[in-house]
Amino acid sequence: MFKKVLGVSALAAAIMASSPAFSADVTLRLGFVDPASSSYAMGGQKFADELEKLTNGAVKVQVLAGGTLGGEREMYEGAQMGTMDMVTVVNTVLSQFIPELVLLDQPFLFDNAEQAHAAVDGKLGELVAQKALEQGVHIIGWLESGFRDTFSKEPVKSVDDFHGLKIRTMENKMQIAAFNALGAISTPMPATEQYTALQQGTIDACENAVGNMLINRYYEVIKNVTNTRHQFTYILVGVSDRAWNKIPDEYKPMVGQAMKTAVEWQRQNLAEINANATEELKKLGVNFYEIDREALKAKVLPEVEKLRANVPQEWVDAVNEAVAAHK
């Protein structure tokens, strides 16, 4: 006779525990620092919806935006320790944990989005994933913020117009060096302080993806955008070892499948958001300018390339191959 376990025989209990059909549902939490209305968080929700559909509800993801789970550095450290399930981190922050990733911080690394996508969808993405896995984090996808442009109070139409320009930058040595090389005065500060700093004249300019100018209402205090397209920014999605091990093996391939769908969707969504933002900003009186990017490169690259001197050649080659394939 088998002992009863909550009214079920021990044999039946053993079968239920080992069968995929009886696997307990898994719910993971995914954090974003950006608001739920951002393209990135919407991409995260697309992933959650796809994964729930593919697993028939066995694996669910709860998207928590707006910094609910903390900042990007905090979240990544939490993933390393196993106190976070799923996290997002911009590549400029992740380079603090994976020094080789400083390569992607370099301005003017890519001329078009196809090059930027090919790099992380290929060999470079594999190299980053391997390094992160050694730290206890599974990288499952690369969402993106895309190319960043320059927003300024006075028009910036040439390299000379950067001279003396006080511009807010990220806390990033590559970006700081790049704008200083153009003759600007790099002024690192948190993104949350930009609007007030522009309003009070503490800075003359800032930089970001054009959609952020509309979302954050910078157009109220500055009226000029220069299409410098100086840097391409990614937002990586990671799963902690602890959370990964909660996912039944038969569903793990579906995690990658759902993220691939979400990444493709978010890339298109971001392109539409930026295009719509450009048209809306023009209606609000914002001026858009083109600039000689080759002239910018001539000033910037000699200064920033030395900052990537310790990046392994294998990583550099992975980027160069992606760039050459999509000229």
The pair of structure tokens assigned to 156 is 């910036």
Residue with the bigger pLDDT between 24 and 140: it is: 140
Whether 17 has a pLDDT exceeding 60, the answer reads no
Tell me the C-alpha distance between 231 and 130, whole Å: 24
Looking at the DSSP assignment, which residues form a beta bridge with residue 5?
A: 8
For the residues 173-188, what does the mean pLDDT come to?
95
Identify the CATH number of the domain in which residue 108 sits: 3.40.190.170
Strands (E), the chain: 4-5, 8-9, 26-31, 59-64, 86-90, 137-152, 166-169, 185-188, 205-208, 224-240, 287-289
Tell me the C-alpha distance between 137 and 150, whole Å: 33
Cα R_g (the chain), whole angstroms: 22
For the residues 200-216, what does the mean pLDDT come to?
93
How high is the pLDDT of residue 24?
61
- 290 belongs to a structural domain: yes
Tell me the C-alpha distance between 219 and 140, whole Å: 35
Whether 6 has a pLDDT exceeding 70, the answer reads no
How high is the pLDDT of residue 171?
84
Tell me the C-alpha distance between 62 and 68, whole Å: 12
Task: Provide the number of structural domains found in the chain.
Answer: 1
- 25 belongs to a structural domain: yes
Mean pLDDT of the chain: 91
How high is the pLDDT of residue 170?
86
Bridge pairing between strands 8-9 and 4-5: antiparallel
Q: Is 258 helix (H, G, I), strand (E, B) or coil?
A: helix
For the residues 288-315, what does the mean pLDDT come to?
94
**To the nearest whole percent, how much of the chain has pLDDT over 90?**
85
For the chain, what percentages of helix, strand and coil (3-state, to nearest 5) are there?
Answer: 55, 20, 25
For the residues 121-128, what does the mean pLDDT come to?
97
Whether 168 has a pLDDT exceeding 60, the answer reads yes
- 320 belongs to a structural domain: yes
For the residues 244-259, what does the mean pLDDT come to?
97
For the residues 252-258, what does the mean pLDDT come to?
98
- 33 belongs to a structural domain: yes
- 78 belongs to a structural domain: yes
Q: Is 319 exposed, middle or buried (0-12, 13-18, 19+ CB in 10 A)?
A: buried
Whether 144 has a pLDDT exceeding 70, the answer reads yes
Main-chain dihedrals φ then ψ at residue 187, nearest 5 degrees:
-130, 90
Whether 132 has a pLDDT exceeding 50, the answer reads yes
Tell me the C-alpha distance between 55 and 248, whole Å: 10
Domain, as residue range, for 228: 17-325
Whether 15 has a pLDDT exceeding 60, the answer reads no
- 4 belongs to a structural domain: no
Q: Is 16 helix (H, G, I), strand (E, B) or coil?
A: helix
Whether 3 has a pLDDT exceeding 50, the answer reads no
- 158 belongs to a structural domain: yes
User: Given pLDDT bands bounded at 50, 70 and 90, which one contains residue 213?
Assistant: very high
How high is the pLDDT of residue 7?
39
User: Given pLDDT bands bounded at 50, 70 and 90, which one contains residue 192?
Assistant: confident
Main-chain dihedrals φ then ψ at residue 115, nearest 5 degrees:
-65, -45
Tell me the C-alpha distance between 113 and 144, whole Å: 10
- 7 belongs to a structural domain: no
Q: How many CB atoms lie within 10 A of CB 275?
A: 12
The residue type of 42 is M
Q: Which region, left, alpha or beta, applies to residue 155 given φ > 0 means left and ψ of -120 to 50 means alpha?
A: beta
Task: Read off the pLDDT of residues 34-89 as tens digits, 9 standing for 90 and up.
Answer: 889 899 999 999 999 999 999 999 999 999 999 999 999 999 999 999 999 999 99
Cα torsion angle, 100, 84, 46, 27, sign: positive
User: Given pLDDT bands bounded at 50, 70 and 90, which one contains residue 215?
Assistant: confident
Count of CA atoms in the C-beta half-sphere (13 A) of 261: 15
